[in-house]
Chain A
Amino acid sequence: MVAFRFHQYQVVGRSLPTAADEHPKIYRMKLWATNEVRAKSKFWYFLRKLKKVKKSNGQVLAINEIFERKPTKIKNYGIWLRYQSRTGYHNMYKEYRDTTLNGAVEQMYNEMASRHRVRHHCIQTIKTATIPSKLCKRESTKQFHDSKIKFPLVFKKVRPPTRKLKTTYKASRPNLFM
């Protein structure tokens, strides 16, 4: 529906088979990137840090995009991340309420940029999980766990239905009451 900036990819790779090691271990990683090329690059970045293999002596065996299984179900997502601030690296756990994991990750990147001034290349997602409502930790997600939720829209923004009908001056003041 909405175009996501971040897509989730599954990248599978291994080091190239050599005379010493005919069947090297195959590693799989799930990561977020804007496109496939970047996903492969990120894969080698992380794999280099974990195992003694580089892109020059390795091969990507498969890269698939992972799509949301139930995009019409609202879920609580918990995201564990590691980010670089101006003074050092920190770990964080954040919760988001969204219908898709890609949407929650996009929310996370936007929130980190706005609240902590962290750009997206300084963020590493460690782990993501859908959290059942009982185990949510943040008040801001828990307040929506109400089957009889009800709130008024306090401020009605008057907006023309298309950008074409936008004018700089209006004849009368708008009515902001819902």
Chain B
Amino acid sequence: MPFKRYVEIGRVALVNYGKEYGRLVVIVDVIDQNRALVDAPDMVRGQMNLKRLSLTDIRIDIPRVPRKKTLIAAMEAADVKNKWENSSWGRKLIVQKRRASLNDFDRFKVMLAKIKRGGAIRQELAKLRKQTAV
């Protein structure tokens, strides 16, 4: 079971604890065994404990501790945002956020849609059952 995701310069990670929860950051340098210097386009560069980071598969090509401009340019070039939003992990987070922000009317619509989908599935199942029974 070799490791596939490494802590390295350019690794994109998701913050999973603390004030910056849910933010995508790039590891810009490693301070020591437990801490890394992280940076994102809309935050001040700061240090973060590696325990607060979940590494992703995305990795961008940057030199050690790049300037903010080069970081943003590299992120655009690697298209981090789109890759993240199309990945299954990213999509799940977007769905979670959407579900958390529903109002009561939206939840009503979701209920109707679920009933409709359930009904369609059951119809198909009934058809298949009739075929196999015959």
Residues of A within 8 A of B (CB): 1, 72-74, 97-99, 141, 144, 147-154, 156-157, 159, 161-162, 177-178
- Structural contact, B55 and A97, CB atoms closer than 8 A: no
- Structural contact, A151 and B7, CB atoms closer than 8 A: yes
- Structural contact, B55 and A74, CB atoms closer than 8 A: no
- Structural contact, B3 and A178, CB atoms closer than 8 A: yes
Known A-B contacts A72-B45, A161-B17; the reply to A149 vs B31 at CB < 8 A is no
Known A-B contacts A99-B37, A159-B17, A161-B16; the reply to A144 vs B47 at CB < 8 A is no
Q: Verify if B30 is at the interface (C-beta below 8 Å from A).
A: yes
Q: Verify if B25 is at the interface (C-beta below 8 Å from A).
A: no
A30 CB, min distance to chain B CBs, angstroms:
24
A152 to B50, CA, bound (A): 11
For A150, the chain B residues whose CB sits under 8 A away are 6-8
Known A-B contacts A161-B17, A177-B1; the reply to A98 vs B31 at CB < 8 A is yes
Cross-interface CB contact of A72 among B6, B9, B44, B51, cutoff 8 Å: B44
Cross-interface CB contact of B9 among A148, A177, A178, cutoff 8 Å: A148
For A177, the chain B residues whose CB sits under 8 A away are 1
Interface size on B, residues (CB 8 A): 25
For A99, the chain B residues whose CB sits under 8 A away are 31, 37, 47
Q: For chains A and B in complex, what number of residue pairs have CB atoms within 8 angstroms?
A: 58
For A149, the chain B residues whose CB sits under 8 A away are 7-9, 30
16 A-B residue contacts at CB 8 Å? A72-B45, A73-B65, A74-B29, A74-B37, A97-B32, A147-B9, A149-B9, A149-B30, A150-B6, A151-B7, A152-B7, A153-B55, A156-B54, A157-B51, A161-B17, A177-B1
- Structural contact, B3 and A152, CB atoms closer than 8 A: yes
**Cβ < 8 Å to A, chain B residues 29-80:** 29-32, 37, 44-47, 50-51, 54-55, 64-65
- Structural contact, A144 and B5, CB atoms closer than 8 A: no
Q: Verify if B108 is at the interface (C-beta below 8 Å from A).
A: no
Report, nearest first, the 3 A-B pairs whose CB atoms are least far apart. Answer: A152-B3, A150-B8, A72-B45
A150 to B64, CA, bound (A): 12
For B45, the chain A residues whose CB sits under 8 A away are 72
For A159, the chain B residues whose CB sits under 8 A away are 16-17, 51
A69 CB, min distance to chain B CBs, angstroms:
15
For A157, the chain B residues whose CB sits under 8 A away are 51
- Structural contact, A152 and B6, CB atoms closer than 8 A: yes
- Structural contact, B37 and A178, CB atoms closer than 8 A: no
- Structural contact, A72 and B46, CB atoms closer than 8 A: yes
For B47, the chain A residues whose CB sits under 8 A away are 1, 99
For A141, the chain B residues whose CB sits under 8 A away are 32
Closest partner residue, chain B, to A157 (CB atom)? B51
